[in-house]
Amino acid sequence: MYVLVILIAILFAFYLFYKTKYIRSNRLVEKKWLAAKSNIALGLFVFLFGVNHLLFISETTVMYIVAAIFIVYGAIFSWIGFKKYKHYLPFAIEEAKNFEMQK
């Protein structure tokens, strides 16, 4: 139980970290890449939050349904974020190289 809580807190911290980097970034593709990374962290956060509720907190049918929705939503959000991350990674590398050349 404590492992899930610690992982949930770490993933929320990663989400805040990547959102802060997103806001501070000036490069377009890097912003999309950082948004994808924050989507992954948020999706995993929601997924583990649902797992935590399902395993340790749920006592009613409504709570089981809500936990299942969190698990499904978090898994889908993480998967979409991972696909976006893989898509934007080569473009972000190229943009970073071009930015270094301009300096």
CA–CA separation, 28 vs 4, rounded Å? Answer: 34
Given a cut of 70, is residue 22 above it in pLDDT?
yes
State pLDDT tens for residues 26-85.
999 999 999 999 999 999 999 999 999 988 886 889 999 999 999 999 999 999 999 999
What's the predicted TM-score (pTM) here? 0.89
Model pLDDT, residue 2: 87
Cα torsion 8, 81, 88, 27: sign: negative
CA–CA separation, 103 vs 91, rounded Å? Answer: 19
Q: Which residue has the tokens 């404590």?
A: 2
Residue type, 89: L
Is 29 within 8 Å of 98 (Cβ atoms)? no
Model pLDDT, residue 103: 67
Q: Residue 39: count other Cβ atoms within 10 Å of its Cβ.
A: 21
